[in-house]
Chains A and B, each alone.
Chain A
Amino acid sequence: MDFFSNIGLGFSVALSLTNIFYCFLGALLGTLVGVIPGLGVLAAISMLFPLTFHLEPTTALIMLAGIWYGTTYGGSTASILLNLPGTPANAVTCLDGYPMAKQGRGGVALFMTTVASFFGASFGIILLTLFTPIIAEYALQFGSAEYFALMLMGLVAASTISEGSAIKGLAMVVLGIIIGLVGMDTQSATVRFSFGILGLLEGVSLIALAMGVFGVAEIIMSVRRVKTADIDPESLKLKAIKPSRDEMRRSWFPMLRGSSMGSFFGTLPGTGPSIAAFLSYAIEKRISRTPERFGKGAIEGIMAPEAANNAADQTAFIPTLSLGVPGSATMALMLGVLMIHGVAPGPNLISSQPELFWGLIMSFWVGNLILLLLNIPLIGVWVRMLTIPYHILFPAVLAFICIGAFTSGFSPLNVWMVFAFGVLGYLMRIFHFPGAPLLLGFVLGPLMEEHFRRAMVLSRGDFMTFFERPISATIMALTGLVLIWGVVSAERSRKRQLLSEGEVDHTPEATDRPT
């Protein structure tokens, strides 16, 4: 059968020595970056992807994907031991993971989250294997109007659903689009906003933008915030990490529910692993017969979100690989990597580059297995990572960023741009403007413009094309709903905030007095 020969092809690519090595390297680096709070996956991928320029595109993607899901594995370590999420997707793991660590069960929590992560990831990979080719089949019914509608929905969802202010999210999307406009226009060859600089003819470098806004800015922020850890080594000995039978029993259903939630939200534009983790935690708490245990070290409270965020990591590849439409900033970066390597993402990818597609997906098994084997015995090592003094770590990372930016085009201009975007990113942090929508706008904006203008030519200038074609119309309607829901929920939470502030006004002593 065709399906099995594809799986075979995938494994033959993924199991080549080079690819196993880079998969291992990616997973290892990802875990490392995930463990260190303050360095997120976007920073990690944007810093490390110049390293992949000399690799085959398949190998490069295998390594970068390894970093991506590796950070989610590693991220739970800092959440549990320090109460500081290693990545945003692990934030909710702090709620029950840290109390477990304080009760001396940190080892159990680390072990169980690794198991949950592997379970969720496996669930996601199976769905990815089954559904991506099917969606790619239908992708031929997607014309420019549909792609435009889909990307619009992605941007609206990314800016309104993500945490924080929707207005700030939207503003960042628009800023990203504006930065994306720099360079030569593909439909008329007009050069826009390049100020006569030849290096800007092909636009602002994605690498410089990502490294500046995520890498440099995160480091400047962390310098002021992060403290070196202080951990009791006794709770992390190998025999201390064995969970009780009761904990095992209570973990099954949260893992299953978390995996399904994560798989679903991973595929949707704008949601991704963080939202999946938060929602699955909320659901576990709601359906639990003993919700009062949550927040005090309930095992369900770490199993569900950790399964969810890892499942979402995998299924996020479905729209990226089948349609060439990234749902999140990280996937947008992956798309950029594909394009830099000369691979055109889209419905043709699976048929024209089967060894890349199937090799990448099968490498996820390799990578997750490596992570499972890596994490359980190495928990102690990761914990020691948390004790590296930041006055050594951060300058090293900064130097690495500069080298990476320079080699990405052998141009000093890129280093200056990293500097400029680093300043921008820092200012954004100070004023609580989110960075992910900026990156998503930057990558999707020019694509959207291209599809929009092409759709306009194809409809001979009729705007109704977006509402008359059934698929496009459906997506547009959904976009409208997302927007309305975003406004309504923002309004509701504002009211709730006002209400609770009002309550606080009546009983000021209740919050001030220590209990």
Chain B
Amino acid sequence: MKSILTAAAVALGLAQPLAAQDFPTGPVTIIVPYSPSGNTDVFTRHLAPYLEEKWGQPIVIDNRPGGGSMVGTAIVAQAEPDGHTLLVTTSAFVTAPAIQTSLPFDSREAFAPVANVGHVSYVLVTNGDSGFDTLEDFIAQSKDAPKFAATAGLGTTTHFAIEKFIADSGADVDVVHFKGGGPAVVSILSKETDIYGSSISSAGENLKTGKVKALAVLGNERIDALPDVPSTAELGFPDLEIKQWVGMFAPAGTDPAIVAKINADVNEALQTPEFVATVTPLDWTLFQSTPEGFAQQVDEELTKWKALAVSQGISK
């Protein structure tokens, strides 16, 4: 009897706890599954004030690092689906599950993708004094004496970028994992490793001073920050379009109208000139996305990275 009443109430739209136009009714928590002061955290902290102003509610940014971003991600998977707990994470959302097979949630089922906010490009870098000046040199030399590639951690986008590069180029490279981009760059500086797919901000000063040199930009086009560095597409690798994107997710079951509203508000914030001016120097390319488009991208990438993990033998 009760369930019939509930069903009727739902049908009449009476039981709907809050309408999208009322959202949010309280403080919104954004979980960032990375440490404070990292790329993603800084981006989110820049974005939050614009949403606070729009929503008239405070936003709490909660850093929950660990498990290659999967700890914070799992917390959102289990959160109340009312739009008041959101996740801002990186493309690790689609790469990490290819390796971590015992996650307590299903990446496809547990989330409602909200918006893809933008990406940073990866640059293949090597030590300034290394014996190779071009990517062709590197690939050729690796076949004589195997080389080492650094990553910012198992299952991170930098890891998959290198694996994809190895798979496509046939270079003879062993992968070494570091904890974060900082130690990975140090390993390039100390010549412990030979190549690393770095973001511009990780390589930072070392690129300018020449201690580290860039061999190629991963992707189809050159980037403004390094106009003289060729893209991998130019060098004959058309499938290396790999970027570290940042996206926002809500728990699955969130009212699609609320998802659409958050998406619209985020897109609006991303177009604010002051916001663009703050993040552009950090090498961000911003996007306008739809929830449906982002959901499709996430779905495709989950499949793609899982397949790569299996073919490269890095998945359990």
Contact = CB atoms under 8 A, between A and B. Distances in A.
Contacts of B81: none
B66 A346 contact: no
A187 B154 contact: yes
A183 B65 CA distance: 13
A469 to B, nearest CB: 11
B176 A454 contact: yes
A458 B192 contact: yes
B67 A348 contact: no
A344 B182 CA distance: 7
A354 to B, nearest CB: 12
Contacts of B205: 351
Contact of A344 (B153, B180, B189): B180
Contacts of B134: none
Interface range, B side: 35 or more
Interface in B126-185: 148, 153-155, 174-180, 182-183, 185
B123 to A, nearest CB: 18
B153 A458 contact: no
Contact of B155 (A141, A189, A460): A189
- Interface residue SS majority, chain A: loop
A323 to B, nearest CB: 11
Contacts of A79: none
B174 A142 contact: no
Interface in A336-392: 340-344, 346-348, 351-352
A186 B71 contact: no
A187 B176 CA distance: 9
Interface in A383-440: none
B177 A186 contact: yes
A143 interface: yes
B244 interface: no
Interface stretch (B31-39, B111-119, B229-237, B284-292): B31-39
B303 interface: no
Contact of A184 (B68, B178, B192): B68
A25 interface: no
Nearest to B178: A454
A340 B34 CA distance: 11
B45 to A, nearest CB: 12
B70 interface: yes
B192 A202 contact: no
A341 B179 CA distance: 15
A183 B67 CA distance: 8
A458 B193 CA distance: 8
Chain B CB within 10 Å — which of A57, A189, A346, A351 has the most?
A189
B280 interface: no
Interface stretch (B12-20, B96-104, B215-223, B269-277): B96-104
Interface in B71-91: 71, 74
Contact of B186 (A187, A190, A348): A348
A474 B52 CA distance: 57
A385 B205 CA distance: 51
A458 B186 contact: no
A191 interface: yes
B3 interface: no
B223 to A, nearest CB: 23
Contacts of A515: none
Given A140-B190, A457-B176, A458-B176, A346 B182 contact: yes
A77 B70 CA distance: 49
A202 B176 contact: no
Contacts of A144: 192
A143 B190 contact: yes
Contacts of B183: 344, 346
Contacts of B68: 184, 189
A198 B35 CA distance: 18
A304 to B, nearest CB: 40
B203 to A, nearest CB: 12
A507 interface: no
Contacts of A143: 187, 190, 192
Nearest to B63: A342
A452 B148 CA distance: 16
Chain A CB within 10 Å — which of B96, B176, B189 has the most?
B176
A362 to B, nearest CB: 22
A460 B176 CA distance: 11
Interface in A45-72: 57
Given A184-B68, A342-B37, A457-B174, A189 B182 contact: no
Contacts of B96: 189
B154 A189 contact: yes
Interface in A437-476: 450, 454, 457-458, 460
Contact of A186 (B65, B70, B179, B192): B179
Contacts of B189: 140
Contact of A341 (B36, B74, B180): B36
B182 A348 contact: yes
A348 to B, nearest CB: 6
Interface string B192-226: 11000000000001000000000000000000000
A140 B193 CA distance: 12
B233 to A, nearest CB: 30
A450 B192 contact: no
A244 interface: no
A458 B38 CA distance: 27
Contacts of A352: 182
A188 B176 CA distance: 11
Nearest to A343: B37
B67 A140 contact: no
Given A202-B66, A346-B186, A450 B155 contact: no
A143 B178 CA distance: 12
A74 to B, nearest CB: 32
A348 B316 CA distance: 34
Given A143-B187, A340-B35, 6 more contacts: A189-B68, A201-B71, A202-B67, A342-B35, A342-B37, A457-B176
For the complex of A and B, the 3 pairs showing the least CB-CB separation, nearest first, are A202-B66, A342-B35, A344-B182
23 contacts: A143-B187, A144-B192, A184-B66, A184-B67, A184-B70, A189-B68, A189-B154, A190-B316, A198-B74, A201-B70, A201-B71, A202-B66, A342-B37, A342-B63, A342-B65, A344-B183, A346-B182, A346-B183, A347-B186, A348-B186, A351-B205, A450-B179, A457-B176
Interface of A: 57, 140-144, 183-184, 186-191, 198, 201-203, 340-344, 346-348, 351-352, 450, 454, 457-458, 460
